[in-house]
Amino acid sequence: MLTSKTSESDSSPAARPPYKVYKRRFWGLAQLVLLNIVVSWDWLTFSSISTTAAEYFQVSESAINWLSTGYLFAFCVASPFVIWVLNKGGPKPAIVTTAALLLVGNWLRYAGTRANGGIFGLAMFGQILIGLAQPFCLCAPTRYSDLWFSDKGRTSATALASLANPLGAAIGQFVDSEWATKPSDIPNMVLYISIISSVAAIPSFFLPAAPPTPPSASSAIPRTPLMPAIKQLLGTLEFWLILVPFAVYVGFFNSVSSLVTQILSPYGYSETESGIAGAILIVVGLVTAAIMSPVTDRWKHYLGSIRVLVPIVVASYIGLIFAPTSATGIAPTYIVMALMGASSFALLPIVLEYLVEITYPFSPEIGSTICWTGGQLLGACFILIQDALKAGAKANPPSNMRNALIFAAVVSFVAAPFPIVIGLFGRDVQRRRLEVDRGIELHVAEAGQGDTGGPNEDISQIELASPLHESTLKSA
């Protein structure tokens, strides 16, 4: 049977390895932040100005939606490669891959907007290349924070890098509508974004690959091999209880961000007001996450925070059904978007770090990449579904998206119980990585003394203590 204990010899400071964090870790973190900002900005380049972009390319708004949808599907295609690159090479190869795809994709997209008055297919191809770049940087934060940060800063580091992605979306929602006020402005807008993305990508090639020494005990322990880890992870109930709501809420964030102009325009709101609504969603969320993440790093109340925040997320989607129709104007929509952003963004890094804690010693990128892929896949599906649910030209008001918002609220409500029941009904869910960092070592007893029925295993075989294993870790 698996147990955990602290040996007397290891309890002395002299016997412990010299774990250390390095200031250079902030350079890589800053680069991850930059890449996640620009890759998300690139994603929503056209969605906040969908009407203007449709006029420029002489296509429908549904075709413009495919610039966002194709981007999300590209994420899903790249995900298996992302897991392999992060698992075998670490964050550095993933960051370099992101930078290379950004450079090529942005300039192809610019060529598609400039050549012959706009070539929609070429712009779409560039957009897909950028979509292939996104998972390499969006799925890297948990792997990077695990490699470079101790338990005192992991959640904050993961939050900073992960939430830079929606920050880029907020910038895109606000700035793009200012840079492209008429169809002829589209090429110059894409040019400016391409220049910014290229400048942000270049430092990626000069980052250190890994710290000279591990930052913590859990970082020093070898992780479960990739394929066994994936197999065991997919058989773990708690992983699915996190995956389902994560994918649903990320998916609806993606769809709302992409469709916010089409949600509000039937009620007479301008593209600028829609851009402000999208920016409020993200800026308020970032401020809230900046407050919550250090608190979580300090107290480690992952599950309690999840149980509080999930119902607030659901309430915000219900509120979005009624806010655009309010007689008081745009203010209720701004309030609902602020509430949605605050709860969703505070929840995101907490869930990602909690997933790493309870699935340790699996490498962090496996669970996070699968979760992000689920979110992007559902985001693409939700965009298509909600676009199909758009009311007709004879509705009141024409082309309103009330049915699409009801769909979002219902699905969000159905997903809410999944994370809330984690740890209930007698299941023992423990923060395994934190226990190792606190000096609790994992040992396997002699054959015949437990239910593993195998010989003694050293610390390098810690993968036996997987979430799927029926034995639990108990403090001595």
DSSP 55: H
Among candidate residues 390, 412, 430, the one with its CA nearest the CA of residue 251: 412
The angle, 0 to 180 degrees and rounded to 10, between the axes of the packed helices 91-114 and 120-138 is: 160
DSSP 361: T
Query: For 50, how many CA atoms within 13 A lie in the half-sphere containing its CB?
Result: 26
Among candidate residues 390, 433, 377, 408, the one with its CA nearest the CA of residue 216: 433
Distance CA 457, CA 10 (A): 18
Query: What is the residue-level pLDDT of the chain in tens, covering all 476 positions?
Result: 333 333 333 444 444 557 888 999 999 999 999 999 999 898 878 877 888 899 999 998 888 888 888 888 899 999 999 999 999 999 999 999 999 999 999 999 999 999 888 899 999 999 999 999 999 999 999 999 999 998 888 889 998 998 898 888 778 877 888 898 899 999 999 999 999 999 999 999 999 999 999 998 888 888 899 999 999 999 999 999 999 999 999 999 888 887 888 899 999 998 789 888 988 888 899 899 989 998 888 888 889 999 999 999 999 999 999 999 998 999 999 999 999 999 999 999 999 999 999 999 899 999 999 999 999 899 889 988 998 999 998 898 999 999 999 999 999 999 999 999 998 887 888 888 888 887 765 443 333 333 333 323 332 333 333 343 333 333 32
Distance CA 463, CA 431 (A): 15
Cα 375 → chain centroid: 8
| Reported pTM | 0.81
Domains (range + CATH), the chain:
2-434 (1.20.1250.20)
- Contact predicate 371/355, CB 8 Å: yes
Tokens of 322: 């009624």
CA distances from 299 to 145, 155, 350, 434, 444 (A): 18, 11, 12, 12, 29
Distance CA 317, CA 336 (A): 8
Among candidate residues 457, 460, 462, the one with its CA nearest the CA of residue 432: 462
Structural element, H or E, at residue 63: helix 61-89
- Report how far apart the first and last C-alpha atoms of the chain are (Å, whole number): 13
Distance CA 329, CA 99 (A): 42
